[in-house]
Amino acid sequence: VAAVVISALFARRHTTAAVRESHERISLLERVRTRVVDAESGQRGYIIVGEPVYLEPYVGAAADARAALRELHSRLDDTTQQESLTTLEQLVEQRFHVLDEVIATRGSGGLDAARALILPGTGRELMTAIRATTGDLIQAELLVLDSLLAQEARRNRTVLWSVVLGVLLIALAAFVTRMIFAAHLAAQERLNGELTEANSKLQDQAVEL
């Protein structure tokens, strides 16, 4: 029982770390998606107003999204997920390239020129692909979480049954031990009675002698 419980404790520590890591990866993926949307909002504000101050959210969002992607690369070990992450990184860079192009056109050619670049819908298609790829990666992480939680549930059941079985074995051992001691005590009392009776007979014979 002790071995099972100790093993479960070490396994739980590993599972907890893996669950925490998976949640961190999901958080980073959501951060990438959110920051690209923030970059789009910053670009949209600049296109409408034309003031450089509106580009501050865009610059910060772009840098943060790239930092999150780099961190994700260092945290992912699965080859398939690494490939999907590389695809996501390419899509994000393409989206930022389109955003940069529109911003540059707005600064040099005005609102109508920037609007002409937006109308074909390339940016919208890239954003749809980014959302889909991010969603696929998050779904893969959720499957990992489900697997980890299922393993933990099985381990908990094993510990529970081990403890129940251990208690039953301890109770059986206690009962058997009690029966052995009781039998030994009864035999000892019987021997004591026989010795007492023999001593009494010896005393009677001594008196007669």
pLDDT digits (tens, 9 = 90+) for 30-51: 999 999 998 888 888 888 887 8
Place of tokens 């930092």: 67
Q: Give 3-state DSSP helix, strand, coil % of the chain, rounded to 5.
A: 95, 0, 5
The confidence score (pLDDT) of residue 114 equals 79
The confidence score (pLDDT) of residue 117 equals 75
For residue range 91-140, list pLDDT tens digits in order.
999 999 988 888 888 888 888 887 887 777 788 899 999 999 999 999 99
Angle at 157 between CA 152 and CA 163, to 5 degrees: 125
Averaged over 159-177, what is the pLDDT? 90
Q: Which two tokens stand for residue 6?
A: 């100790």
Name the pTM for this structure. 0.72
Averaged over 50-60, what is the pLDDT? 82
The confidence score (pLDDT) of residue 27 equals 94
Is residue 32 within 8 A of residue 69, CB to CB? The reply is yes
Cα→Cα distances 23→42, 72, 83, 144, 155, Å: 28, 12, 20, 10, 21
pLDDT exceeds 80 at position 185: yes
The confidence score (pLDDT) of residue 196 equals 84
Is residue 88 within 8 A of residue 137, CB to CB? The reply is yes
The confidence score (pLDDT) of residue 180 equals 92
pLDDT band at 186 (very low <50, low <70, confident <90, very high): confident
The confidence score (pLDDT) of residue 178 equals 92
Averaged over 193-197, what is the pLDDT? 83
